[in-house]
Structure 1
Amino acid sequence: MKKLSAIALIFVLMFSTLLGGCSSSSKSSSSGEDTSLDYIMYKGELVVGLDDSFPPMGYRDDNNNIVGFDIDLAKEVCKRMGIKVKFQPVSWESKEQELSSKNIDCIWNGFGITPEREKVLTFTEPYMSNPQIFVVLANSGIKTEADLKGKVVAAQSGSTAYATIEKNTKLKDSFKNFIGVEDNVKALMDLEVGGSDAVAMDTVVARYYMTKEPNKYSIIKDTTILDEEMGVGFRKGDNALCKKVEDTLKEMKKDGTLAKISKEWFGEDLTTIGE
């Protein structure tokens, strides 16, 4: 009986271990071993968390399909890894919680690398530069940062532009009001109808909209809210998965695939990884 009980216990422990590898943290609680890449390869899918209202990085087209520059990058990376990719829209304000709860496996959507985020996430090397700037209507008469004094300024809640201005009390207090909005699309719509006088946002997004409507918007010159670089964010300690994605992006940079995708979206190669 004791022998049978021992054998039964072994099977229970083996079964529990298999379940734990599928549902628990990507790190072994006992050994600290990084199994993040094994976890993804085993399930055969990378779930990418994104804001689906963030053109040209990731957004919905007229047919409600999620498209964008980062979408094309993620698709190619997963293809080379031999796994599927799933794009999961999330609230940008709760993106880190979605990641920690394993509803998503990474954050990949024009995601700025900041010291605060690096404390709680693991990032790839930067793959693109993306300064945060102020966008105004071309006919607004606002030319400099000083012209924003007494004006209403908006930014996407949870964005690095929003967080940076929140910390810069001198700049923030010079505004009549500083408001957070759901996404950049709404921010620009509010700007157009007079809900705000300026929007703090990503250069790549601003350039995209200015290309679509060249005479509608302008960027306040010689003013940068934050010099930012983009990376792919993973759960803290998911180094093996992070390195695999990073190495694949470097491979794509080397063989010209990154340049090709960038030129399709921006007309030039703006990628920086591996340089």
Structure 2
Amino acid sequence: MRIIIAIVIAAVMLPACMAPARAADLAEVQQRGVLRHLGVPYANFVSGSGDGLDVELIKGFAASIGVRYEYVPENWDTIVRDLTGHKVKVTGDQVEFLEETPVKGDLIANGFTILPWREKVLTFSTPVFPSQIWLVALAESKVRPIKPTGSVDRDISRTKALMKGKSVLTLEKTCLDPSLYKLSETGARVICFRGKLNELAPALLKREAEMTILDFPDALIALEKWPGRFKVIGPVSHKQMMGVAFAKDSQKLCKAFNEFLSKSRKDGSYLKIVKKYYPSSVRYFPEFFKGTDYRAR
């Protein structure tokens, strides 16, 4: 009889154990006592060795709400799923929700660009870092950088014109997805890279293509790490913003982070972290770092 009862209890409990966890909000995170940071090692945001701009920022946030910090290593293919509890199919800017999956973290922070399709699935914090997509070539390339015209649209048009007939490395399902910038219309030979974001600049050094697109932070690192080896041809996008992403159910947690970020900007601790990991960024985007309540325009 006891065996039968045990089997019945197990059968009842099994679906609950297998059911995906709902994304946690502020009160649940504080009750749990741990803030789980989903992050892909990328640029100087998440090093994979316990530091980085976003790592320090989220550690500070965890302390501000009185919980322990925990890093959960991720990859680009699964990170949105592991925050929202849903597999997501993206076609251009269209998003389709598929089957449910377990939730593994409370926020995403790894130089995560605020893109239209991501905003349909996630709630973003106020901007944490500025960005832009640049076309980069080897220094010895015969292609010359464009001369700025004073119009970003014209600059983008001139930059894209220089791609015609050239091989260009991109990376799908990231901020470098070629569909986001209509690269197929440029006449370039678009190559969808199979490695990681961090590996695009090294791939260009190996001459796997004639050019690559990089976002601003990664381009800065490439220019500093390999001085004299690369040159920026011009912009491929307007200014973009990076933020911390939360599940749609985590509005209070997002609000608490925004309050923490605002305080950090005002007391100088945010800028101190920025200068530690991206010392030259202030020179490229001074308007972003001047105010304490900047919004992308």
TM-score band (shorter)? Answer: 0.7 to 0.9
TM-score in terms of structure 2 length: 0.74
Post-superposition offset of 1:210: 0.9
Tell me, in whole angstroms, the C-alpha distance in 1 between the residues paired with 2:143 and 2:36: 42
Q: Is the 8 A contact 1:112 1:229 kept in 2?
A: yes
Give the length in aligned residue pairs: 242
Residue 273 of structure 1: how far off its partner (Å):
5.3
Q: Distance in 1 between matches of 2:214 and 2:205?
A: 15
| Aligned twin of 2:141 | 140
Letter in 2 for 1:256: G
Name 2:27's counterpart in structure 1: 38
Task: Give how far 1:161 is off.
Answer: 2.1
The answer on whether the counterparts of 1:155 and 1:181 sit within 8 Å (CA) in structure 2 is: no
More displaced stretch, 95-104 vs 141-150 = 141-150
Q: Is the 8 A contact 2:37 2:108 kept in 1?
A: yes
State the match for 1:51 in structure 2: 40
Q: Is the 8 A contact 1:161 1:225 kept in 2?
A: no
Contact 2:34–2:70 under 8 Å retained in 1: yes
Aligned-residue offset at 1:69: 1.2
Aligned-partner SS, 1:46? strand
Change in 2 beyond 3 A, CA 1:215/1:87: same
| Greater Cα shift, 263-272 or 208-217 | 263-272
Provide Cα deviations, 1:159-194, integer angstroms capped at 9, x if missing partner.
1221544645313xx112331333222212211111
Match of 2:167? 152
> What are the equivalent positions in structure 2 for 1:12-161 lying under 5 Å apart?
24-26=21-23, 36-52=25-41, 54-60=42-48, 65-101=49-85, 102-144=103-145, 145=159, 146-161=161-176
Say whether the 8 Å CA contact 2:39–2:73 is kept in structure 1: yes
Q: Contact between 2:43 and 2:218, CA under 8 Å: does it hold in 1?
A: yes
Distance 1:253 1:196, change over 3 A: same
| Residue 157 of structure 1: how far off its partner (Å) | 3.0
Which letter maps to 2:83?
A: L
Separation of aligned partners in 2, 1:69 and 1:187: 21
Partner of 2:185: 170
Gaps of 5+ in 2: 1-12, 86-102, 146-158, 283-287
Distance 1:240 1:224, change over 3 A: same
State the one-letter code of the partner of 1:25: R
How high is the TM-score relative to the length of structure 1? 0.79
The 1:138/1:70 distance shift into structure 2, 3 A limit, reads same
Report the CA distance between 1:234 and its aligned residue.
0.8
